[in-house]
Chain A
Amino acid sequence: MKINKWMAATAFTVSSLFAATSFAADPLKVGFVYVGPVGDHGWSYEHDQGRLEMQEHFGDKVETTFVENVPEGADAERVITQLAKSGHDLIFTTSFGFMNPTLKAAKRFPNVTFEHATGYKRSKNVSTYVLRTYEGRYVSGVAAGMATKTNTIGYIASFPIPEVIRDINSVYLGAKSVNPDVKIKIVWVNTWYDPGKESDAANALMDQGVDIVIQHTDSPAPLIAAEKRGIMGIGQASDMSHFAPKSHMFSVRDVWAPHYIRTVQEVMDKSWAPEDYWGGFADDILQIVSINPDLPADIQSAITSTHSKIKSGEFHPFTGPMLDNTGKEVIAAGYTLTDAELAAVNWYVEGIDASIPK
């Protein structure tokens, strides 16, 4: 009898142990790899904000880890592999240079899900995700076209890749729609983040009579340079209003949380499948924030109305007919570019007096 009781007790304990492990589901481990420090006030900072919001949304159902300042060389593959090895189920790699390292690690860990930002290569466990940055650029163009007095807008461009070329076109199209005499001047800095170079580029543009500075780089340096000279500018990636209280027109903010929450949910539900995700105004993954209250009322209302027209899908900046700056038709009348075509734009629209660096 005694023995029976003891055995029953043991059996009960053992079975409850098993129950404990199977019922209290392990949290989903999610890893993030950042190219910069989380305190860069731009790209990596916003990804980390997205991670924190996602963590808050799921509470103890997820466990998140991030590795910051990861160089885009041989180290990237090791960091991604170590995250996969240490039991992470889902890994976000948030810089273009992590594309091939992500694919190599994904091949070694077929049961881990990978998401790579801004790349163009996918596999059965690797998705890509990008922002429709051109939507924010079009709004920037409209605001700049209305605000410019010298009819010259300056653009600090990073690398001659399709995203940047497309966005230059988008700014110009937006500006031209409200100001037929507008011109755009472009400076290439060949970097995503270098406050010194970005600041030099802003000054060079302002020396050439530019009175609105738009940047395709991540630091607040161009805005700060513009503020010093009383010239207007637009914030990139995060809310940069506090860096230039007077000169800041508005910021186009990257808001990654909705995508991170959706992806984590899909992985939990086992409904995840590789995709090429494009997020924009419609998903609130790209937002217009901190519109400067000192801007003239007509510009403020143009910003909000252009934003809502694009958000509702009523208007798409890349709708034909459209010619490139050599006079060749690039979009036929009534046609709107597909995402795949948007990812391969390699021409300047008619009216841009420049050529793409080779």
Chain B
Amino acid sequence: MLSVQPRIESSKKMAWFSPIIAIVLTMLVSSLMFLALGVSPTKAFEVFILQPVSDTYNIGELMVKAGPLLLCATGLALCYRANIWNIGAEGQLLVGAVASSAVAIQATQNSGFGVLLLALAAGIVAGMLWAAIPTFLYRLFHTNIILSTIMLNYIGLYTLLWAVHGPLADPDGFGFPESIIFADSVLLPLLSDNGRATISIVVAVGLALLSGLALYKTLPGFKLRVYGEDQAAARYAGFNSGKIVWGVMLFAGALAGFAGASEVIGPIGQLIPSVSPGYGYAAIIVAYLGRLNPIGIILSSLFMGSLYMGSDLAQIELGLPTAITGLFQGILLFFLLACDYLIFYQIKVVPRETEKRRQETLLQMKRDANDMNEVTSEDTKAQQGAL
């Protein structure tokens, strides 16, 4: 009979194979869905998988979509590796966009490269400051970092709305919530004339590679991983926890702020209320799909980017409503995460008797553990009584 057993060591082979199994399962299940809707599955997969990379314009757009996801997810992955649950990339990205726009609206057609750098720097610094608030609260009062970062996302959004309705609004824009269109001199250089991808995507990939290198090949990276695995061990080893927490949070904030700046002085070219369609939140999924490894995140951000693009293409080419695309994406993510189970567990065919004995042993071990717990809890009760 089939038996599920935990692996002693996570499987290296399965780490590679599980995504492939997931994709095959997704194709099987979604083929049924597409057939039921009267759409040829081969045509559907062509639109979802091949079209986003079918020509230079689409490849450029894929990079436009993947860039902010990659930047945010890289920062988040380092935080999660250190066991710090930063959910605040969205807010950091938005304030980065606001600060960068505040500089960019000052630029004229003749402004030099310095203004562009200043606009980028403003975005990065704003993102870092936004990340510094929850870090400070956490270090000083042990505030829950999940809650404080989520709440700062809302404050970040309302800061953006205030800015775009008020001080940064286009004075000749009839009161519509948007800034002026920025001068070309302050826009990031394009990678190709046929598209909107800017050099920020190159910087993003470079930063992800460097982060990966730092995480696995340097002492600070090692300290970070130890701190994330076991805080007590890190303390005994004499690692400075303040440095680790501040380091990863500020780094994540800087990357998210950079992402926000590169959106407004990149493909959008002005400040608008909807700078981000939720990049900071989607980046959490991207970070996990990339297994919290910056190199893996490069792939997962491209993958998620192509899913988003496939959604529009499926509506244009196949007339499928967005809800169906949502279902397809949901099936894919479900199988991807479900198949990761195979990395940590193995499914084996064993004789019925062996399995029965194993189950009994497990049950017995559980009972023993429970008894132990009862004993210890009685002990504590007795101690408390004595006090």
Contact = CB atoms under 8 A, between A and B. Distances in A.
Interface of A: 31, 37-38, 65-75, 77-79, 81-83, 85-86, 96-97, 100, 120, 159-162, 165, 190, 343-344, 346, 358
Given A67-B312, A97-B274, A159 B175 contact: yes
Contacts of A77: 196, 267
A85 B166 CA distance: 37
- Of the four ranges (under 10, 10 to 19, 20 to 34, 35 or more), the interface on chain B belongs to 35 or more
Given A67-B312, A120-B174, A358-B166, A73 B277 contact: yes
A319 to B, nearest CB: 22
Interface of B: 57, 61, 64-65, 161, 165-166, 174-178, 181, 196, 263, 266-270, 272-277, 308-309, 312-313, 315-317, 319, 321-322
B322 A37 contact: yes
14 contacts: A37-B322, A65-B315, A65-B319, A66-B315, A68-B322, A71-B277, A73-B276, A74-B263, A77-B196, A78-B61, A78-B309, A82-B316, A100-B269, A343-B174
Contacts of B312: 67, 70, 75, 78-79, 82
A69 B351 CA distance: 54
A117 to B, nearest CB: 14
Contacts of A38: 321
A80 to B, nearest CB: 10
A74 B267 contact: yes
B270 A100 contact: yes
A159 B316 contact: no
B175 A162 contact: yes
A67 B64 CA distance: 19
A280 B269 CA distance: 34
Contacts of B174: 120, 161-162, 343-344, 346
B177 A78 contact: no
A161 B275 CA distance: 20
A159 B277 contact: no
A38 B165 CA distance: 28
Nearest to A103: B181
Given A73-B277, A346-B174, 16 more contacts: A67-B315, A72-B272, A73-B263, A73-B274, A74-B65, A78-B309, A78-B312, A82-B316, A83-B316, A97-B274, A159-B175, A165-B175, A190-B161, A190-B165, A343-B174, A358-B166
Contact of B175 (A74, A79, A161): A161
A159 B322 contact: no
A68 B274 contact: no
A189 B316 CA distance: 33
Contact of B274 (A72, A82, A358): A72
Nearest to A164: B175
B277 A65 contact: no
Contacts of A165: 175
A344 B165 CA distance: 17
A160 B315 contact: no
A17 to B, nearest CB: 26
A244 to B, nearest CB: 27
B311 to A, nearest CB: 9
Nearest to B270: A100
B151 to A, nearest CB: 18
A66 B314 CA distance: 11
Given A85-B57, A190-B161, A160 B316 contact: no
A341 B175 CA distance: 15
